[in-house]
Structure 1
Amino acid sequence: MSPQRRREDLIGAALELFGARPPEQVSVDDVTAHAGISRPLFYRYFSSVRELQVAALRTVTEGLIDGLAGQATGEPAERLRQAVRGIVDVADRYRAGYVALLRSGSVIATSETDAAVDEVRNRAVEVILDALGETTPSPRVLLTLRCWTAVVEGTLLSWLQEGTMPRAELDGWLVDQLAGMLAVTATHDTR
């Protein structure tokens, strides 16, 4: 197995384990047992379980950014739905990693993971502005878009943990919320 493939397998094993318990409760021994490798082999790829946690969470954020970038052409609302669908797909695939990444007070939160989350949020705002064809948004519009990304994060956290809404309804509902928020902003926006 190539070194890159082995590293990806270790990250995948960690993400699977995060599905059963919080990342801060996953040890090197847990990962090596799950991946079927020795401790010395683990340390060829990662200096610590903390480094593995950060790499795993980075995998989630890269997936979220890729999900946002995967939008198709079409009407703005459909492009936004596709971008939100991409985010939902990644959040669902990396369920525990996503929850760990955004969970308030996580002991694995670092400046690096915080920067990765901010990168996803900034990319989300860029995708929305692009879909809307907006090149010079007002401060209120930018604030609205940042607030909406927080709504999406909170909704996905609740959905992943509680499953209270059918997945098929999420993207349309979230895009409709954005449309409502932007409509209210327009009534207050004097530029």
Structure 2
Amino acid sequence: MQRPDADPPPRRGRPPQTRAQAEQVRARIVDATAEVFARAGSRGLSVAQIIDHAGLSRPTFYRYFANATEPLHVLLEVSNAELVGGIAAALEATGEGVELGIRLIDAYLDWARGHGVMLRPLFAELHDPASPVSAYRNAALDGIRENVSAKFTELGRTVPGPLDLDAALHVCEYVVYRISAASGPGGEPDPATVAEARLTMIRVVLATLGNTADFRYAMGLPGLFPAAPQDAAGAVTAGQEN
């Protein structure tokens, strides 16, 4: 029996292949799968399109994967690990309250930026039970809920209720979807749109997961909330002072 970590056996009529070479070919297939998925989604995946983008033969593809969905699972596993891991790292940093929420949101946005044009079809299939993306979304949300709850417990804060936490996560997800839908051909959204979306996400997370101390702190952050209207004398209009 061949050891799991052994180099792949040489094929008849072909030169021996090292483990490093095998990993390069495997990565080439996965990268090509990302290109096809970005253009056509999971329903547009086919071995023919993947090998065309990768510049490889069909036998070479089947040496590494049994079908077109397997390399997509590799992409989704990496995406999930980066999302949950990035948020976990943000929660481990020093600070709490509003700053903690802002770091969580920035980690989410950093993850989204890393997907480029692949982000749009990814979000388009999040809620489609027939898509493999859906199961990975549920797993990622479970991981985020666990990390957030653990951090609040560690800080001695009231752990958010399931509905509040899900509301915050789903709104952030929707906002990023809106960003991806409005992005240009290269997958890069307008920086002003991202900045506005970031403020929306911060306000939503503050409203669902924050406490009174967080709100007092947030009121001093420039640009987070619009200024209250003032009369000609410069006084805050009645009913708008809070």
For Structure 1 versus Structure 2, the TM-score category normalised by the shorter chain is 0.7 to 0.9
Structure 1 runs of 4+ aligned residues shifted over 6 Å read none
Distance in 2 (CA, whole Å) between partners of 1:2 and 1:135 is: 50
Which entry has the higher C-alpha Rg, 1 or 2? 2
Match of 2:159 among 134, 137, 155: 137
CA separation of 1:134/1:17 partners in 2, compared to 1, >3 Å: closer, same or farther? farther
Identity level (%)? 22
Q: Which residue of 2 aligns with 1:76?
A: 97
Q: Deviations over 1:132-167 (max 9, x none)?
A: 4257636xx222001211111111111101248622
Distance apart, 1:95 and its partner CA: 4.3
Q: Which residue of 1 aligns with 2:29?
A: 10
Matched, 1:92 2:92: no
8 Å Cα contact 1:27/1:49 also seen in 2: yes
Gaps of 5+ in 2: 1-19, 184-189, 212-242
Q: Which amino acid aligns with 1:177?
A: V
Distance in 2 (CA, whole Å) between partners of 1:23 and 1:96 is: 14
Q: Which residue of 2 aligns with 1:188?
A: none
Match of 2:172 among 125, 149, 152: 152
8 Å Cα contact 1:14/1:31 also seen in 2: yes
Q: Which residue of 1 aligns with 2:52?
A: 33
Distance apart, 1:48 and its partner CA: 0.3
SS of residue paired to 1:20:
helix
Query: Would you tell me which structure has more helix in proportion to its own residues?
Result: 1
Distance in 2 (CA, whole Å) between partners of 1:76 and 1:115 is: 31
Distance apart, 1:47 and its partner CA: 0.3
RMSD over equivalenced CA pairs, Å? 2.7
Distance in 1 (CA, whole Å) between partners of 2:167 and 2:89 is: 22
Structure ranking higher on relative contact order (CA contacts 8 Å, 6+ apart): 1
Distance apart, 1:2 and its partner CA: 3.4
8 Å Cα contact 2:41/2:122 also seen in 1: no
CA separation of 1:74/1:22 partners in 2, compared to 1, >3 Å: closer, same or farther? same
Q: Which amino acid aligns with 1:144?
A: D
Gaps of 5+ in 1: 185-191
